[in-house]
Amino acid sequence: MSQILPHARIEPVNDTSIALAGDMLRHGQLVAFPTETVYGLGADATDDRAVAAIYAAKGRPSFNPLIVHVADPDDCAALVRVDDRARLVMARFWPGPLTLVLPRAAGSPVSLLASAGLDTIAIRMPGHDVARAVIRAAGRPIAAPSANRSGAVSPTRAEHVAESLGGRVALIVDGGACRVGVESTVLDLSTERPTLLRPGGVTAEQLEAVLGQPLACPHQDPEAPKSPGMLASHYAPGLPVRLDATHAAADEALLGFGAMDCTLNLSPSGDLEEAAANLFAFLRRLDERDYRGIAVAPIPETGLGVAINDRLRRAAAPRS
């Protein structure tokens, strides 16, 4: 039986709907808006709970790192470390369908959940007036994957978003059809050799011409991992991780869930969105202390628990 969703609220672009979108985003709600590539499912990138709501709405079985959207290149400096190479390609291709993966800046306010715990952040300035107006109205960097349920095709019209997400999104700003129709190019500039993680509207040749060097293209190498999500070297704690624990052994930290005695509790009330919001920040906090290992309480394998358990299983897998 298919689930009946409440209808999505769709508003045409005008000053009122842009102001409303900004207000909702500042209050941790999800707002879908057009970019030049596809519609984005936006949330305040500095708010762990709002970012957790993105993953819940998309129904993704894992935490893929998300793209953080800004309205102005100057807004990047507080979020990521911008070097000369990055400045060069930003000057040439922004605003536009190019995402840059850069090292997280010290004190960056971007949610660790948005970057799936990584030390890098993917950032872009969209080439669509409505997208930038929404980001400006929010006054925050905006995390936004494509505005569709996991596995569905990318949405290039407001109706596609409504069909896929329905009432899971507080507001859809209807800016008509997207011009490009495929997602942005993802270029990793956190590595010595610039690396093309996802092909898109801005081509490898265009980037090579500006950077003056060939790009590494792992997706064309049959030996390399297939999906860009897999490429991101996943964050894993330095300490061994033990799953489905009810008690901590001597010198072990206990990461809890639900009512229990533990070192840190992902969600004392057993709320999976709260647990997702806390997951990476808490793992890092425990990893910094003088423990021998991290024991983790069982997490239900439902809703966002599937993505949480996926990440925990990776963290607990034997290391090579």
Give the residues lining the site for ligand TXA (CB under 6 A): 35, 37-38, 40, 64-67, 97, 99, 101, 115, 118, 120-122, 126, 144-146, 183-184, 186, 188, 197-198, 228-229, 232
Q: How far is the CB of 172 from Mg ion (least distance, A)?
A: 17
**Restricting to residues 97-156, which ones interact with Mg ion according to CB under 5 A?**
146
State the Cα angle at 100 between 66 and 194, rounded to 5°. 125
How far apart CA 158 and CA 34 sit, in angstroms, is 8
| Residue number, 39 or 94, with CB nearest to Mg ion | 39
Partner whose footprint covers residue 38, from ligand TXA, Mg ion, none (CB < 5 to 8 Å by kind): ligand TXA
| Residue number, 57 or 296, with CB nearest to ligand TXA | 57
Decide if 274 contacts 266 (C-beta within 8 A). yes
Select the residue whose beta carbon is closest to Mg ion and give its number. 146
CB atoms within 10 A of CB 209: 10
| 116 bridge partner residues | none
Pick from 100, 80, 81, 101: nearest CA to 90: 100
Kindly list the distances between the CA atom of residue 242 and the CA atoms of 189, 276, 291, 301, in Å, as whole numbers in the listed order.
34, 18, 13, 17
Decide if 264 contacts 280 (C-beta within 8 A). no
| Residue number, 17 or 115, with CB nearest to ligand TXA | 115
Q: How far is the CB of 120 from ligand TXA (least distance, A)?
A: 4
Q: How far is the CB of 1 from ligand TXA (least distance, A)?
A: 29
Q: How far is the CB of 151 from ligand TXA (least distance, A)?
A: 12
Rg, Å, the chain Cα set: 20
Q: How far is the CB of 129 from Mg ion (least distance, A)?
A: 22
* 205, containing H or E segment: helix 204-211
| Residue number, 17 or 37, with CB nearest to ligand TXA | 37
Partner whose footprint covers residue 127, from ligand TXA, Mg ion, none (CB < 5 to 8 Å by kind): none
| 123 bridge partner residues | 68, 100
| Residue number, 46 or 184, with CB nearest to ligand TXA | 184
Which residues contribute to the site for Mg ion (CB under 5 A)?
Answer: 146
